[in-house]
Structure 1
């Protein structure tokens, strides 16, 4: 990209890059005033008019509008998740001259450096980063499909388990579940000899047959493994067909740069695929050994002067493969080879017997062969204000990126990444996270802990009519825009939801034309919003029930404003408009993942710094007089980007170290040192001072060389140790290490002491209320003063207690008190859904009848079993089957009504079975005695 003129404005630079990317991918870029559809299949028209304004690019394939690109300047890389709404608006708008009401299907947001893509034909459209644009032929092919690839995952039939081992069955079923959840990466950990490749052949067959995958890459790191995989496919025969795999599908083991169009499974070493992307032929020996071993092909290339980044290859589009299976992935997904995996727009599936922590990190900890999805639901809420603490190892203690590790480094603003090998250890601590270092596992661990806490502790009752958990409206406080984007991506993955589920909220109107904040307030989606600065007056979201702190706050006032976002009340009917499963908002929960509640509140914040080795080298080279165009222009490009990020204070300080010159002036001198026009002008002055008789082409060329050297020296003399150190220091503030290697673990996920104190206070208040009314309310009088008469308690009596509590003490609702007990002590079961049953359970616990809190319906069930056992003692089955049916009906009636009378036998459900007359026929003169015994025994 360095050849793009730096004199252009940032928007035009981005457009030029996008134009070039489109042309590389087979598109013809045209102006809206000069449209010529005969020029080719795919036409990208700039500034095409829609009903909501001109779209940056509309993508036409065969005169049919299929896609759209929303272009942003490079520094807006951090806003691409925000502009999803804007591009979606254009996609659903009416295009001039077209009446198509279905909208555009394939939507991109791009800065020319970072590109995101959303396929709106997916079941849950979710934006993802892509290396470049898809080809026109691809979009046309996709548009003709009834369902997208992700939509076709729903068509998987039940796995035929014949011939499969239990571990293989678990791996395949969980992998397909991961696909349906649109998880981009999955890891199958399977012991050696357990049949990893056979497992792979089975799910690859199902992907080709049922998901209609176009092409799948089976990636190995040695030729030998490739040959073994080829043999496995040749031998594999599916359960539902008499033919071999290779008779059904074309399998090609790559031995050159040629990939056959008809190939449906390609087997390749990762080093060969790298060479294919680079457009280079590779020596055959390079396939023979593991490329990560010492002295290998990788090491030889890393020792070259220039890095070997992967760039777009028109012969191998990013959509070449729908799925990539990486065999022995624990040793072949790092360093140079990671670029191969980042290049393709494909699902990644790792196979290994011996994963390490880097492997788990690379695959987003989505270990499908061990994957178990557990949800526990405990009803209710605790108190109006509660705090839940999540502590993780890295959040508390940090970690170390070690010398020799290959890691990504990312620009905070543009999101542009580069890979590099660290030449020194970088130790980071909790305050460095998401500033100096980004650890995706740390973010993911918190989100996973929060997701589990919602179901287990915080709002366990939120299950809708389809049996799905409904996430309460949640606001996450992030540290920076880049941190917010990381959180958004991981939340969407972990909760298996679409773009709409989690959004960034900002006050900047140009970033949020459709006002995500208003939708967060009033609509069902988004369920989760992530913000950096949403704290001012007027930003309250009444349905908000959870604040998740993933940033610490030093200012006490700032912190109180942030907490205040959750304090607003809302009528139950309005709350249920946006959260269907909520009953009433009686409290909100602060989930503290960074110790924000406990930290000392001050306004000071330390300046975070991180080393950038490549920049140091460039600065030092120029200072030492290295006169190479690549060095000068590379440094100039770095400084151009740095200039966009400097604060006013930083710019002034830098100018002081640069003897009064600004960073722009330094950059210009670096560029001028190799600018032919500037060199020519300087050389002309030298030539003019030379007598005409001494002038010659050789002399003039020498003058140009001398002029260039002078310009280079003038530029190099401006750089000194103090300036270089300051530039590097400032740059480190804006650059981040992406630590995918150190994995995080949960140290604690529980209510904090304040919440326990609040829970104890609630129990104390509930106990005091019961005691204060024990002589006034008949049911309480019986429980407290006449426990032997519990058999006389009726449904009406319990309802009277409940109505009095609702009227006088609504905060003592049984569900809240139950969850308070759950915080303080072990409860024997979840809170009953029926609030009267829960109330009886609580009263029995408070009065000391039960030593631990347990659902009263379970108590009745247990007492019934004991009574039946006692009746059968000494004899075999005292009661007939029909008698047992009647006894169970009586037990169920007591569960719902707490007592049974003879008159009850004349009503439902007993009347349908013959009423009291039939019971008398069955039990005779024992009928009255049995009813009395059951009333007494079950209420014990």
Structure 2
């Protein structure tokens, strides 16, 4: 019987061979037989023992492999490999001694040390490197020796040996700050410091809208140009985000060269399973990478689904990944994950850990498990509050809408007629109720659709939109509504169009199923009987085209989605995010909420929303109590039986074999088998190549039987009677059994699509009888308390500093016009914005508006720096109303003009033009001086010389008068 050591050697032989090594015995070695040759039981110099494997590259020794039995901890074994590396027989050729490449392996677990690295450190590998890779690493032409002196004792310091990636990362030039925001600059520098320290994983947390992708592109450019990275993999959530990322790379102008990134380095967006061999950067979804590694084709639709947001909650076990010699583990030097959520530690973890690459995560919302995956190495922390303070994000307010049916459900009495609607076809029939229909809030829009509940919410939103939510507006701000599912989204769209009295273009549904049609054709089979053939095709406008219109055009004003726009999608003009569905995941909610935070300049905003003065904030309209509920970081499947059927199918399609997922799916399929009729069963059997749904469920249940796993492990490992398989052997047997049982689903997208279609055709009850009622609508109590706290803190700060800060001191007393300068106001604004306060005029203005709208004017308008004067005087209770400084100046200007005319002082048309320019300058800069007339816009009209002529030498007198009148 084979010993554990022999079994490990067998696995190691197979792994080396799959990586391209020729494995030979020492007695029969032929090191010229190929580029890479692994010699078993290689004798070394006296006192150094025998290496389990000696690795020859191009005819010379380059490394060793120390083999251990499965289950042996590899940490601490490096000392034995080091001993082998130093024991090269004196007359045997070697690239360098001690040997540079050291491996330790059990055949299941492998680790590697590159002694050419600074401070060589072992790291885990998914698989052995290819011999071509080691040959490249040893080539001084491809990896020129380092230019800078190395640490004393480093092997490369003694000769002109090639450099390594980790060595080059210690010799990066200083970062040019040009074109980078302060947060982006800090992120790149901190990441490079982490790489200098040799840390294999790093997490960058930057608020949504703060330029994470631009930061990544800036860093990747440096890693390629100065670090010598051969290839970088950039992972995105969905295909449309891949297209968005590709544009970022194409538009990036390199700071030192001036050319575009893609003009210097090839960038490939992977839309097929074919890699461009010269691409420096590959952009892909993690689903695409998995399909390439596993040798499977991937449908385009599968890439439009969010792997991060849908699949990863459902399986605590990673998808198994095979070694693919066409994409070896060393293929990428760096792996970036954009929006690094639950995927990195659940379903897709092994895809990420396949590559021998440094991992860099980008996220706006890190969870505890995300931080754990990245070894708690958070190199940048830049949250929403800091981004708001830096004007990189806009803040938000919560507007709450509560209705009776939303919170409590309703009841329809027996004997009344209700509609029954097919979820998919939307066909409706009448049915008389035999019993009372009582439904809860959780059943809304899934089992029961209460039309008046949707209508009441939408009508309340419409009625309050232009009076409370965005007072004074006439056009509906760009609004994104999150629905529960596709059917719910359809209902919302129809009600929105009706309530607002608008056409189709006003509101659109943007989901994964937008533009997807199910086509049924009938054909005659070989036996002469007619059979139905079902196909799914994309028709009409694509979701990405709808998104483009929503982002860049006047229509649609409102978009309704489920979760397609939940992460990563950039829609800068968005001013309202509305929740008509709940989510349990804290990270997912933060991502959905984050769609509204992006900054946009006023002119760009006005191209799509003409009556919007500026985007100073966005409104989160909470119709379901999202901001009041308890959110969690994870969502265990068995504790949440409401996980969508289609999501369970997606896990299986992606190769998942988690027992809880398969058990839940089997249960759902068994219930479906009881509800469907003979035609549906026959159609499913045809699609499953003759296997009935009942048989499919039976196979899944059998595959979950623990006793069968034990027996299968005994057979697979050829155990003798009385021998018990190990836990690892049982686990492998269980995984194989489950994979075989679900293979009819995993390998058959048509069958999965049909099952999902049948599930959607189960009917909903349409309640058109229950009348809903508004329980409350307004900015939520938390927002009010937050506003009160901000106002109290601000007024306390003003009171405490009225004798210290010049601007407050002057504003506290009167007159102040002659003593206060724009520089003083700017200094005050910077002081109140500095941590820990991070206050801005916009936030303070909205806080006062929330507490007492009647006393606040100019809500929603763009704030100027001079508005700090109005805020301070209002806080000091010098003014009864909070009025924008520009409006105050305008009122004083008109009063002054009227007084001048009453006194008989007339102004010519040209003088009036100059006076208006002076007034506008004072409104923006607090005062005007002679030197200001040399700047725009005054210099365009003749500057100081001309204004002197226009006012006949009385300019100085006029300046003094207006400075006092307009700001008094």
TM-score normalised to the size of structure 1? 0.40
Higher RCO, 1 or 2 (CA under 8 Å, sep at least 6)?
1
Q: TM-score, normalised by structure 2?
A: 0.39
